[in-house]
A and B are shown apart, each in its own frame.
Chain A
Amino acid sequence: MSTTWLPCGVYHETYAQDHAWWQTRFIRGKMVLLAFILFAVIPFLADSYGLSVCNQIGYTILGALGVQLLIGFCGQITLGHAAFLAVGAYTSTLLILEFPWPQWMMQWGLAYPVSIFIAALVAGIWSVLFGLPSARVKGFYLILTTMAAQFITVDFIITQYVSQIGGRGQAFSLPPGTIKVGPWVIDSDLKVYFMMLALVIVCVIAVVNLLRSKAGRAWVAIRDNDISAAVMGINVVKYKLLAFFVAGAIGGIAGAFWISNLAAVSPEHFPWFWSLWLVGVILIGGVGSVHGAIFGSIFMVVIMEGLQLAVMPLADTFPKLLMDFLFIKEAAFGLSICVFMIFEPNGLAYRWWQGKNYFNLWPFSY
């Protein structure tokens, strides 16, 4: 599935051109417009609720990217990804609250950015630990081992031990002013939004580039047929574990971002349902495409919130609607997955690709 159709008369003369992300001036123009909307339009048009919905989307994208990489590109099914988000969040929180940073780092506002980086590493390594069984087992067995990651990490280690550090035994709340990036104290939805954009862009670029590299090719080979991949000389175990590492690291970044959004963290933020939710997101967005993780996140968050807003005017007449809304929401989650599996098994990303091609090829669709 080529990702771009070029207008007549555009030819590549070098490999670099052939592999470029944005191959024509028109596409570059579209991306500039997108950047303009993200950085200049939304922040100034949306109120705090709109921004918080955007941040929720960003958080979901960061979570879903790792799941997409594992399931969509490497074929390793995971149902415990929230565990790595939790590891990232707790690593970052503990580093900020308990670690004796040198004064100059505090002054320059480097503690939080550095903690994000370390959180990514720790979550990545933790993820590799639970990815080890993938060397031996596949499919259904692997699902169970990744679920074990969720319960061992969140329900046991974090709830029983990590959340007790400092005698708290409860939610860590980060005092105002502790989350600083350089000179900026992250204390408003707008600042969280810009941080979210930066992290999402960095992670998306990293994942897309990885997929264009040797590792990405190996992952896709393993996904399509691990035996053939091994025959071709790909070190299957190594690349599987690398996929787990990268997915865990992105999860860690997502978790570390989450604490800035709330200024508090507790084990209750990372339930097993969230792991399940992230898999739902990529199913709807489209498995095996970075676009899929983004579209799925937007769809899931916005549709759910939109449903709620649509219900509100009706609530005066039917007060039970608001009270029972969550059941409708849960049902909508399940229903949308079913509907997508039936009508659009390739997800929203495929629909997007088709839409673009329709315009690219018009009026001669060949």
Chain B
Amino acid sequence: MNAKKGWANVSIVVALMVLGLVFSPFAGAADIKIGALNDMTGATSDVGKDYALGIAEAIHYINDTGGINGRKIKLYQFDYGYRIPEALTKYNLFKRLKCAAILGWGTGDTEALAPTVAKDKIPYVSASYSGHLCKPEKTPYNLFFSTDYSTQSRGLITSWFDKKWPTKPDYGKRKPRIAMCYMFASPFSSSSIKAAKDQAEMLGFEIGPDQDVSLFAIDTKSQILSLKEFKPDVVLHTNTVMSVAATLRDAYALGLGADNLIKCWGFDENLPRLAGKAAEGAIGCAPWAFYGLDVPLMDKVMEYAKKYNPGIPQEKRTIHTVQAWANALGLAEALKRADKAGDLSGEGILKKGFETMRGYEIGLGIAPATYTPTDHRSQSEAKIYEYKNGEFVLIDAVDLKARWPEKWKNEWLGW
């Protein structure tokens, strides 16, 4: 009985302490606070973990090299396990902590929070690069340092049309044929399909039937068999690396004979590991350099990876670390500019930080970034790599703005 009483008392005390914690304000400091939402345990943790590590390492680097004009960044990083209710409370926690900006993660949390972010005026730099997030009148506070999905898809198709199609035996005799494999229901996979079809039509492709490939697909033989009737010259894949690898394997096994174009999340160091021989000759868009390539700042990325996460072997680190660095460094630059202008409010960071960037060079093999008040597509250049003889080789860089200035400006924004 006494034990029970004691237990009751303990639980009451704990409950009161917790309540006190929940409703007590934190002591503020002169640091600039940044929130980070990452997925290290959820549905997208296969790529999310590396990204999360990259974010933490990049913030260490920024603090070691002078921070934001002498002020340090205090990072509050949370793993939300790709659970949306969790993302929402974390977001409110970031608000309470008075975070200047948030480094978000996937399409799920980014789209769910977009209306709220716009209302609260907190810059949200995410790893979802959907073209839908580039229209400032719709989503003014959503930003990212990458070529958006639609521009990637347009660039891939254009590059193949320029470089590969003329080498085919049927060149000049008929229209080239393209088909697309993606998960119909996934906002992430399907976000750039409309743009891809538009580009293919413009260049005079014949477009085949879309194939629904789940993000969790391990067998895609039925989709490949139905593609065989259409005989595509090239196939566009917009899923993540696991299902892209499965599709490549089945296409290789069934002798589809088409070239493969892959959006950034399906084109990383794990693709050859998962797809084996089938990955040979795969063409993908990678807005940043692959981990370990010889580009400015890559030595720092590797140094900090070794320093802060020595337990993870270098060969296990991927391009997603580099992606995280790009977003973190880009955000830091915006903060520096806004801080110089003396306005670190959300609106200040947007107007006097991000939107003052014109051809800003981050390094890391990423194209220069430009944001304007009417256009948040930070880059117009799609960097195209080919996987040849065990290496990723840069084969092309398609600048869509330079080639189609009118369409870029008036037609292609926001989808």
Q: Taking the nearest CB of chain B, how far is it from the CB of A280, in angstroms?
A: 14
- The stretch of B19-27, B170-178, B395-403 in contact with A is B19-27
Q: Are A50 and B22 in contact (CB under 8 A)?
A: yes
Q: Are A59 and B85 in contact (CB under 8 A)?
A: yes
Q: Taking the nearest CB of chain B, how far is it from the CB of A165, in angstroms?
A: 12
Q: A170-B191, A266-B111, A266-B112 are known contacts. Are A305 and B92 too (CB-CB below 8 A)?
A: no
Q: Taking the nearest CB of chain B, how far is it from the CB of A102, in angstroms?
A: 26
Q: Which of A42-61 contact B (CB under 8 A)?
A: 45-53, 56, 59
Q: Are A322 and B115 in contact (CB under 8 A)?
A: no
A52 to B94, CA, bound (A): 12
Q: A176-B119, A187-B119, A322-B77 are known contacts. Are A48 and B185 too (CB-CB below 8 A)?
A: no
Is A306 among interface residues, defined by CB-CB distance under 8 A? yes
Please count the residue pairs between chain A and chain B whose beta carbons lie under 8 angstroms apart in the complex: 130
Q: Which of B48-84 contact A (CB under 8 A)?
A: 52, 56, 76-84
Q: A323-B52, A323-B56 are known contacts. Are A269 and B79 too (CB-CB below 8 A)?
A: no
Given B22, B83, B111, B184, which contacts A53 in the complex, CB threshold below 8 Å?
Answer: B22
Q: Are A268 and B108 in contact (CB under 8 A)?
A: yes
Is B190 among interface residues, defined by CB-CB distance under 8 A? yes
Is B95 among interface residues, defined by CB-CB distance under 8 A? yes
Q: Which residues of A sit under 8 angstroms from B107, Cβ to Cβ?
A: 170-171
A159 to B112, CA, bound (A): 16
Is A174 among interface residues, defined by CB-CB distance under 8 A? yes
Q: Which residues of B sit under 8 angstroms from A174, Cβ to Cβ?
A: 115
Q: Taking the nearest CB of chain B, how far is it from the CB of A338, in angstroms?
A: 15
Q: A305-B89, A326-B79, A355-B8 are known contacts. Are A263 and B190 too (CB-CB below 8 A)?
A: no
Is A343 among interface residues, defined by CB-CB distance under 8 A? yes
A49, A51, A159, A306: residue with the most chain B Cβ atoms closer than 10 Å: A49
Contact string against B for A residues 161-204, beta-carbon threshold 8 Å, 1 for contact and 0 otherwise: 00110000111011110000000000101000000000000000
B7, B18, B114: residue with the most chain A Cβ atoms closer than 10 Å: B18
Number of A residues contacting the other chain (C-beta, 8 Å)? 55
A171 to B188, CA, bound (A): 10
Chain A residue nearest in CB terms to B85: A56
Is A13 among interface residues, defined by CB-CB distance under 8 A? no
Chain A residue nearest in CB terms to B26: A312
Number of B residues contacting the other chain (C-beta, 8 Å)? 48
Is B314 among interface residues, defined by CB-CB distance under 8 A? no
A324 to B79, CA, bound (A): 7
Given A50, A169, A268, A302, which contacts B84 in the complex, CB threshold below 8 Å?
Answer: A268
Q: Are B84 and A189 in contact (CB under 8 A)?
A: no
Q: Which residues of A sit under 8 angstroms from B76, Cβ to Cβ?
A: 312, 322
Chain B residue nearest in CB terms to A59: B85
Q: Taking the nearest CB of chain A, how far is it from the CB of B128, in angstroms?
A: 11
Is B335 among interface residues, defined by CB-CB distance under 8 A? no
Q: Which residues of A sit under 8 angstroms from B93, Cβ to Cβ?
A: 49, 308
Q: Which of B191-216 contact A (CB under 8 A)?
A: 191
Q: Are A262 and B112 in contact (CB under 8 A)?
A: yes
Q: A45-B23, A268-B84 are known contacts. Are A323 and B115 too (CB-CB below 8 A)?
A: no
Q: Are A52 and B89 in contact (CB under 8 A)?
A: yes
Q: A46-B23, A309-B21 are known contacts. Are A56 and B89 too (CB-CB below 8 A)?
A: yes
Q: Are B22 and A169 in contact (CB under 8 A)?
A: no
Is A160 among interface residues, defined by CB-CB distance under 8 A? yes
Q: Which residues of A sit under 8 angstroms from B41, Cβ to Cβ?
A: 326-327, 330
Chain A residue nearest in CB terms to B38: A323
Is B374 among interface residues, defined by CB-CB distance under 8 A? no
Q: A48-B92, A52-B92, A268-B84 are known contacts. Are A322 and B23 too (CB-CB below 8 A)?
A: no
Q: Taking the nearest CB of chain A, how far is it from the CB of B189, in angstroms?
A: 9
Q: Which residues of A sit under 8 angstroms from B115, Cβ to Cβ?
A: 173-176, 263-264
Q: Are A53 and B89 in contact (CB under 8 A)?
A: yes
Is B88 among interface residues, defined by CB-CB distance under 8 A? yes
Contact string against B for A residues 238-264, beta-carbon threshold 8 Å, 1 for contact and 0 otherwise: 000000000000000000000001111
Q: Which residues of B sit under 8 angstroms from A170, Cβ to Cβ?
A: 107, 111, 186-187, 190-191
Chain A residue nearest in CB terms to B5: A358
Given B18, B116, B184, which contacts A262 in the complex, CB threshold below 8 Å?
Answer: B116
Chain B residue nearest in CB terms to A319: B56
B7, B79, B85, B116: residue with the most chain A Cβ atoms closer than 10 Å: B85
A41 to B376, CA, bound (A): 43
Q: Which residues of A sit under 8 angstroms from B84, Cβ to Cβ?
A: 262, 266, 268-269
Is A303 among interface residues, defined by CB-CB distance under 8 A? yes
Q: Are A306 and B18 in contact (CB under 8 A)?
A: yes
Q: Are A306 and B108 in contact (CB under 8 A)?
A: no
Is A231 among interface residues, defined by CB-CB distance under 8 A? no
Is B319 among interface residues, defined by CB-CB distance under 8 A? no
Is B96 among interface residues, defined by CB-CB distance under 8 A? yes
A309 to B96, CA, bound (A): 12
Q: Which residues of B sit under 8 angstroms from A261, Cβ to Cβ?
A: 88
Q: Are A264 and B114 in contact (CB under 8 A)?
A: yes
A189 to B88, CA, bound (A): 11
Is A30 among interface residues, defined by CB-CB distance under 8 A? no
Is A10 among interface residues, defined by CB-CB distance under 8 A? no
Is B344 among interface residues, defined by CB-CB distance under 8 A? no
Is B40 among interface residues, defined by CB-CB distance under 8 A? yes
Is A310 among interface residues, defined by CB-CB distance under 8 A? yes
Is A271 among interface residues, defined by CB-CB distance under 8 A? yes
Q: Which residues of A sit under 8 angstroms from B119, Cβ to Cβ?
A: 176, 187
Q: Are A49 and B92 in contact (CB under 8 A)?
A: yes
Q: Taking the nearest CB of chain B, how far is it from the CB of A123, in angstroms?
A: 18
Q: Are A266 and B187 in contact (CB under 8 A)?
A: yes
Q: Are A48 and B8 in contact (CB under 8 A)?
A: no
Is A273 among interface residues, defined by CB-CB distance under 8 A? yes
A342 to B313, CA, bound (A): 43
Q: Which residues of B sit under 8 angstroms from A45, Cβ to Cβ?
A: 23
Q: Which residues of B sit under 8 angstroms from A351, Cβ to Cβ?
A: 8, 11
Given contacts A160-B185, A330-B41, 14 further A-B contacts (CB under 8 A): A48-B96, A50-B22, A52-B92, A56-B88, A171-B107, A176-B119, A269-B112, A306-B19, A308-B93, A322-B76, A322-B77, A323-B38, A323-B77, A325-B79
Give the interface of A toward B (CB within 8 A). 45-53, 56, 59, 159-160, 163-164, 169-171, 173-176, 187, 189, 261-264, 266-269, 271, 273-274, 302-303, 305-306, 308-310, 312, 319, 322-327, 330, 343, 351, 354-355
Q: List 19 A-B contacts (CB under 8 A).
A: A46-B23, A49-B92, A49-B95, A52-B89, A56-B85, A164-B185, A169-B190, A170-B190, A171-B108, A173-B112, A175-B115, A262-B112, A266-B84, A306-B19, A310-B21, A322-B76, A322-B79, A323-B56, A343-B7
Closest 8 pairs (CB-CB, A-B):
A170-B187, A306-B18, A49-B96, A52-B92, A49-B92, A171-B111, A264-B112, A263-B115
